[in-house]
Chains A and B, each alone.
Chain A
């Protein structure tokens, strides 16, 4: 072990990396404490909790059931969306590249749909898919799908034509051309597409979870957990306590900041938006899943409303909204 560490730290790159992180943490600490020390707040960094507090809070979160459940839930959604995007996207991109007629038919609609941001699909996918879980997976799928297809298509189209010509004059059939030249030649782009797509999936999944109310079906991980536990913790205000029956054991943000009002307003805003989902959830759910079993069942049934009912509700909601705005 010591040997391993020694070889690791003999490496200049490792030492530089570790040094950079240490310097970053020190700067962070100084930035967060500067206000207290000198009375001068550098660019609002004073609002940021110091690294020590964050680390302590992190240690407190680690043993919680909800923390790990949040990982599992988000990971499942990302993997589902990503795998489906790979399975559909790679053959689709290759077909677009090799077949002129297929490209003629499918590329224009693809290009019309592509610029629509995945998050803009959230309301539509909430309506169209029977469960929240599927809606979230669909949005993550979209996040990866377009990137993968564009990469595969671009990669396959940029294969040097002389490889194809050489193979052709040596007597390779169309099928051989595909398996021996086009597919191996596209592999690098497939991996690039997958790597970029995976990144986008993670960006999209959290936002989709937030907007859809966290997929209450699966227990609300991780968004409700995040809202209740972490937001409550970080803000440590009375309103949090009242809304969630949550005892804020640790308040990280300093209470007497003038910006507290702003944060307060932000929190209230987000909380009101998700209140409908939260109302049915008891605090206990986050720490012991067994007790909440009955509760979950009710919500599952609630989620199984038909797409039609959902859209009805959505449109009546929009209509009411319109009236209010007028």
Chain B
């Protein structure tokens, strides 16, 4: 599919003929140089915007707009600031009316305890730390039982310590229930640590450059990042990304 912004006479091609498969039950990480259109890709996958050409298919059916089977965890926090954590988590089911009352409340509380926010369910998002906000957001997405999770640089802006903790926490969650997961990031280490498949995007107009299969055993831990195999993947990815990053600098010059 392709996507460009602006009028026909002055259009800015962001995505050009991007075609990629996200295997069910696997964690696919998308990496690309900054400003290459990763967020645009997520918006198309989520259905917030529609592609100029081509389509997004889920199990062979084209999507028509945003829906609860594709939940998005946003770059910066998108928890609703005037609702408490537990209200945020119950928001989706309440809006659709498919879960109700005490059962919903119980489920939300269990989920929050699972993500380690048991004591914070009646706090407002602003009273939580960055890492807690991301975990609350994960809980808010999970309660909708999505078939696909879309994560748009979810750990961006966290300090290195909470970031690595969040990565491990997220991996645990993923390895537990193996949902189809699309994870966007600009950090190679994070990408290799998490991914089953690593999609490397080119510079704008964006195309898929390579898909690398990351063959590290699960469950993973941070020690695997220092194995020879992981280094090989990292080297391969860095070579590709470095070339692309140089191109984008060349444009600036």
Could you tell me which A residues sit within 8 Å of B by CB distance? 160, 162-163, 165-173, 176, 180-181, 184-185
- Chain B nearest Cβ from A113, distance in angstroms: 31
Question: For the complex, what is the distance from the CA of A169 to the CA of B48, rounded to whole Å?
Answer: 8
Question: For the complex, what is the distance from the CA of A169 to the CA of B96, rounded to whole Å?
Answer: 11
CB atoms of A168 and B66 under 8 A apart: yes
CB atoms of B72 and A165 under 8 A apart: yes
Cβ contact of B68, chosen from A163, A165, A169, A184, cutoff 8 A: A169
A171: B residues at CB distance < 8 A: 67-68, 92, 95-96, 144
A160: B residues at CB distance < 8 A: 78
23 A-B residue pairs with Cβ-Cβ distance under 8 Å, sorted by A, are: A160-B78, A162-B76, A163-B78, A165-B46, A165-B72, A165-B78, A166-B80, A166-B140, A167-B91, A168-B48, A169-B66, A169-B67, A169-B70, A169-B72, A170-B92, A170-B95, A171-B92, A171-B144, A172-B91, A172-B95, A176-B95, A181-B80, A185-B82
Which residue of chain B lies nearest to A173 when distances are taken between CB atoms in the complex?
A: B95
A185: B residues at CB distance < 8 A: 82
- Chain B nearest Cβ from A184, distance in angstroms: 5
The answer to whether B71 has its CB under 8 Å from any CB of chain A is yes
A169: B residues at CB distance < 8 A: 46-48, 66-68, 70-72
> Known contacts A172-B95, A173-B95, A184-B82; is A166 also within 8 Å of B74 by CB?
yes
For the residues of A in contact with B, the DSSP-based class is helix
Question: For the complex, what is the distance from the CA of A180 to the CA of B92, rounded to whole Å?
Answer: 12
B74: A residues at CB distance < 8 A: 162, 165-166
Question: For the complex, what is the distance from the CA of A167 to the CA of B68, rounded to whole Å?
Answer: 10
CB atoms of A163 and B66 under 8 A apart: no
CB atoms of A170 and B80 under 8 A apart: no
Cβ contact of B95, chosen from A163, A167, A184, cutoff 8 A: A167
CB atoms of A165 and B95 under 8 A apart: no
Question: For the complex, what is the distance from the CA of A47 to the CA of B76, rounded to whole Å?
Answer: 60
A165: B residues at CB distance < 8 A: 46, 48, 66, 72, 74, 78
Question: For the complex, what is the distance from the CA of A167 to the CA of B96, rounded to whole Å?
Answer: 11
Interface footprint category on B: 20 to 34
Question: For the complex, what is the distance from the CA of A169 to the CA of B71, rounded to whole Å?
Answer: 6
Type the 1/0 row for B36-68, where 1 means its CB is closer than 8 Å to any CB of A.
000000000011100000000000000000111
Question: For the complex, what is the distance from the CA of A160 to the CA of B140, rounded to whole Å?
Answer: 18
- Chain B nearest Cβ from A173, distance in angstroms: 7
- Chain A nearest Cβ from B50, distance in angstroms: 14
CB atoms of B48 and A170 under 8 A apart: no
Type the 1/0 row for B176-194, where 1 means its CB is closer than 8 Å to any CB of A.
0000000000000000000
Question: For the complex, what is the distance from the CA of A184 to the CA of B76, rounded to whole Å?
Answer: 20
A184: B residues at CB distance < 8 A: 82
CB atoms of A170 and B68 under 8 A apart: yes
B65-90 interface (Cβ within 8 A of A):
66-68, 70-72, 74-76, 78, 80, 82
Question: For the complex, what is the distance from the CA of A169 to the CA of B147, rounded to whole Å?
Answer: 13
- Chain A nearest Cβ from B93, distance in angstroms: 8
CB atoms of B71 and A162 under 8 A apart: no
B75: A residues at CB distance < 8 A: 162
B91: A residues at CB distance < 8 A: 167, 170, 172, 180
Q: Max chain A CB contacts within 10 Å: which of B47, B66, B70, B75?
A: B66
B76: A residues at CB distance < 8 A: 162
Question: For the complex, what is the distance from the CA of A173 to the CA of B97, rounded to whole Å?
Answer: 12
Top 4 nearest A-B pairs by Cβ distance? A170-B92, A162-B78, A169-B66, A171-B96
Question: For the complex, what is the distance from the CA of A173 to the CA of B72, rounded to whole Å?
Answer: 17
Question: For the complex, what is the distance from the CA of A167 to the CA of B88, rounded to whole Å?
Answer: 10
Question: For the complex, what is the distance from the CA of A184 to the CA of B92, rounded to whole Å?
Answer: 17
- Chain A nearest Cβ from B86, distance in angstroms: 15
Which residue of chain A lies nearest to B150 when distances are taken between CB atoms in the complex?
A: A169
Cβ contact of A167, chosen from B67, B80, B82, cutoff 8 A: B80
Question: For the complex, what is the distance from the CA of A167 to the CA of B66, rounded to whole Å?
Answer: 10
Question: For the complex, what is the distance from the CA of A180 to the CA of B88, rounded to whole Å?
Answer: 11
Question: For the complex, what is the distance from the CA of A251 to the CA of B114, rounded to whole Å?
Answer: 79
Type the 1/0 row for B133-149, where 1 means its CB is closer than 8 Å to any CB of A.
00000001000100000
**Besides the contacts A167-B91, A170-B92, A176-B95, what 15 more A-B pairs have beta carbons closer than 8 Å?**
A162-B74, A163-B80, A165-B66, A165-B78, A166-B78, A168-B48, A169-B46, A169-B48, A170-B68, A170-B95, A170-B144, A171-B144, A172-B91, A173-B95, A181-B80
Question: For the complex, what is the distance from the CA of A24 to the CA of B28, rounded to whole Å?
Answer: 70
A163: B residues at CB distance < 8 A: 78, 80
- Chain A nearest Cβ from B139, distance in angstroms: 13
A167: B residues at CB distance < 8 A: 80, 91, 95
B80: A residues at CB distance < 8 A: 163, 166-167, 180-181
Q: Max chain A CB contacts within 10 Å: which of B48, B71, B140?
A: B48
Which residue of chain A lies nearest to B91 when distances are taken between CB atoms in the complex?
A: A170
Question: For the complex, what is the distance from the CA of A171 to the CA of B78, rounded to whole Å?
Answer: 15
